[in-house]
Amino acid sequence: MSSERVHIFGIRHHGPGSARSLERALEALQPDCLLIEGPPDAEEVLALAVHAEMEPPVALLVYVPDEPRRAAFYPFAGFSPEWRAIRYGLQQGVPTRFMDLPQWHQLAGEAENEGEPSEETSGKSGDEETAVVGGDAADNSPSAAEPIFRRDPLGLLAEAAGFSDGERWWDYLIESRRGNCTEVFTAVREAMTALRDDAPAMDDLRELRREAYMRKTLRAALKEGFERIAVVCGAWHAPALDPARLPPAAHDSSVLAGLKKVKTAAAWSPWTYDRLASGSGYGAGVVSPAWYELLWSDEQDVAVHWLTRVAQVMRSSDLDASPAHVIEAVRLAESLAAMRERPLPGLEELDEAALSVLCNGQQGPMALVRRRLIIGDRLGAIPAEAPMAPLQRDLLALQKRLRLPATSEIKKYDLDLRKPNDLARSCLLHRLNLLDVPWGDSDRGGRGGKGTFHEYWQVQWAPELAVKLIEASRYGNTIEAAATARVKQACDDAATLAELTELLAHALLAELPLAVKSLVAAIQRRASVASDVPQLMAALPALARTMRYGNVRQTDATLVGDVIRGVVERICIGLPSACHSLNDDAAGDLFTLTIEVGAALDILSDEGMLAAWYDSQRSITEQSGVHPLLRGRAVRTLHDAGRLEADQLHRVLALELSPAVARTAAAAWIEGFLRSSGLVLIHDLTLWNAVNAWVASLSGEAFTEVLPLLRRTFATFETAERRQMGERVKRGGPSTAAGGAVEPAASGFNYERAAQVLPLLAKLLGREAPP
């Protein structure tokens, strides 16, 4: 095979120095065929790379249409050598082809893969490509006994040159160089050849197949008669494609024999610098995409430009960063580079200078710089006519209409549901969550509140959401239709009534009337035959939220009213019996459900349902055999609702805390009555005195027995509440005057000093001063 016809350019994926040298080399060579390490599956969409609206970083997405989770990304930045080669070939009209092992073979072996889509280099960066720049622990887990040239093939060269690892050495030698030396590719190929000759034979079948397919593609191009074939591949693969070292074609055919095949599709997807960084776990990632972008821009005085950006980031966060700081930081970076015998400051020197001068040695501001500048927050864009699923097009149109752009930055929105546009935004985000496309998160959206007219969202677009959208396309061609179909499927699959009611709440938030109708019918059928009281109680809170948000969103939620009334009726009838003969764990579960049901009924504010609920609680207090924890909660419910007179409460307390009652049962009753309610105990003197008298009556042995239970109850009180109780006990407890009022001396309250404030307070309130 003629070596004069084949010109191999071994590059580092996403390297600006490699890209600059490659462009000059291609311009000098003027090839008549261009072979690039990449997926042949995507050649049909390759022409879009030169579209005016294509803005890197972008990625080629190759996936199995029937199972979109089986997918692979091939990211490109503006400074990626493969991206520059693709654009050169298309602009010059040169036949441009991908030559890596097609994903229709690679994905065929991943039928059982349930993980996230893999992130490829421009042609699957395996551990070899990663190893060219120092290896990556996210992709490899080499044993300590494994030869160093397999873990980090450039590590020895880097150590000899005074660098800490192969990544920094490669960056200094190749990527940060200011010249456009094309001879570097010859040197790289010779270095890789020497390393591979000393390395043990490769036993990775996937990598062997990849290189065999690359050689197969190269042979096909030579057979077509091309005279100047440019091959752009990862530096590690360069020796394997050298015409002087190629094995027989039969050898490669035997390696490729038996490969399975699946149907694949390809599309372009926006990408982010965050996912291009090595910190994201991407095997072929770079330390700082933003730094490489600056190097690619060919700006002079890159140190000045970079540190000026650092200062801008700090100022935007109200941190001090003056021009004098920038000047001093530049001087320090240049001095560090000179001490290390480097012609120009690199990212390591600039990072140290920024930390020392601009951040005053503090890691907090430096973390901000690293997050916002070193990685960068750029999100690419693809042309509107690029191939995409109908669901993706619908989302794109909705984002434009609702002025809700997809960005890689974290954005927070305070949506006022009384405004049509904000309401539509909320519905879109809820529908996407139902489709398992979590673009927005309302739980982390910011401050909360009791108002029902506001929702707080935190949104951030991630590249893998494109795959989730494609996967969701099987439910429908629009977001609304797909979400409706997804909810109906979940309705059919729901195992419990609580799951159905929770799903109904989400469907109502997403304004899916057809899905709501199906869910209501399913809930009615399930509730009409349900005899499990805890299951009915677990279902009620979601139904109450449904009614609440139905009113806020101007959605007719009254159709669930009959369901709620039926569920509440069944709960109130069956709860007293369900409270009998329970162990502590079962009673604790039912206690939690009781609190949730009470809160749900408070939301509904229906007098008829509340009356039935209170009757049910009174029945619990009057029956024997009920767990004392639940009986204590029932008394508390009636007490809070004003359904117990003072003398009735006193009799109940005296009965439940009498010496005749087992100490553990009395402690459980107190827990049920007082859990998370320290203020009740502080301000209700009747209750305080009753509890105090009961505790004082215990012997030392009995007190030791009930102390763990009492501590469990009092641990639910706020710190300030416990402090007030401690101060009251220290004073010996409150005494009561006539009528139950606390005497001034006992309360420690200074009425004379308080009286001095009253005239001013009355003036502020516009009231007549008290005598």
Specify the pLDDT at position 729.
82
Compute the average pLDDT of residues 633-658: 80
Please write the tens of the pLDDT for every residue from 463-511.
888 888 888 888 888 999 999 999 999 999 988 888 888 898 888 888 8
Chain centroid offset of residue 182 CA: 43
| 244 and 358 assigned to the same domain | no
Q: What is the mean pLDDT of the chain?
A: 81
Specify the pLDDT at position 145.
35
Q: Looking at this protein, which amino acid is placed at residue 37? A: E
* Assigned domain for 693 exists: no
Specify the pLDDT at position 72.
87
| 365 and 396 assigned to the same domain | no
* Assigned domain for 54 exists: yes
| 234 and 270 assigned to the same domain | yes
Domain boundary residue among 249, 280, 311? Answer: 280
Alpha helix ranges (H) inside 74-203: 81-92, 103-106, 127-132, 148-151, 155-160, 166-170, 184-198
The angle, 0 to 180 degrees and rounded to 10, between the axes of the packed helices 81-92 and 16-29 is 30
| 87 and 204 assigned to the same domain | yes
* Assigned domain for 670 exists: no
Split into its structural domains, the chain has a count of 4
| Residue 231: strand pairing partners | 8, 35
| 276 and 202 assigned to the same domain | yes
* Assigned domain for 489 exists: no
Report pTM. 0.66
The confidence band for 455, taking pLDDT boundaries of 50, 70 and 90, is confident
CA distances from 217 to 11, 210, 228, 362, 592 (A): 19, 11, 15, 54, 67
SS3 content of the chain, % helix, strand, coil (to 5): 60, 10, 30
Domain boundary residue among 226, 245, 280? Answer: 280
| 330 and 423 assigned to the same domain | no
Q: Is 144 exposed, middle or buried (CB count within 10 Å of its CB: 0-12, 13-18, 19+)?
A: exposed
| 185 and 98 assigned to the same domain | yes
Angle, alpha carbons 427-429-435 (nearest 5°): 105
Domain range holding 201? Answer: 6-131+179-280
Q: For residue 212, give the nearest of 94, 220, 260 by alpha carbon.
A: 220
Percent of the chain's residues with pLDDT above 70: 85
| 370 and 394 assigned to the same domain | no
| 229 and 358 assigned to the same domain | no
| 226 and 370 assigned to the same domain | no
| 267 and 360 assigned to the same domain | no
Task: Mean pLDDT check: name the lowest of 123-127, 234-238, 358-362, 483-487.
Answer: 123-127
* Assigned domain for 205 exists: yes
* Assigned domain for 210 exists: yes
Is 653's pLDDT higher than 90?
A: no
| 202 and 229 assigned to the same domain | yes
* Assigned domain for 1 exists: no
Task: Mean pLDDT check: name the lowest of 264-268, 278-282, 320-324.
Answer: 278-282
Residues 6+ apart with CB under 8 A from 263: 64, 65, 66, 104
Select the more confidently predicted residue: 160 or 67: 67
Cis? peptide before 57, omega within 30° of 0: yes
- Tokens standing for 452? 């029902």
Compute the average pLDDT of residues 40-60: 91
| Residue 33: strand pairing partners | 229
Residues 6+ apart with CB under 8 A from 197: none
Domain boundary residue among 475, 510, 540? Answer: 475
Is 1's pLDDT higher than 90?
A: no
* DSSP character string of 563-577: HHHHHHHHHHHHHHH
* Assigned domain for 212 exists: yes
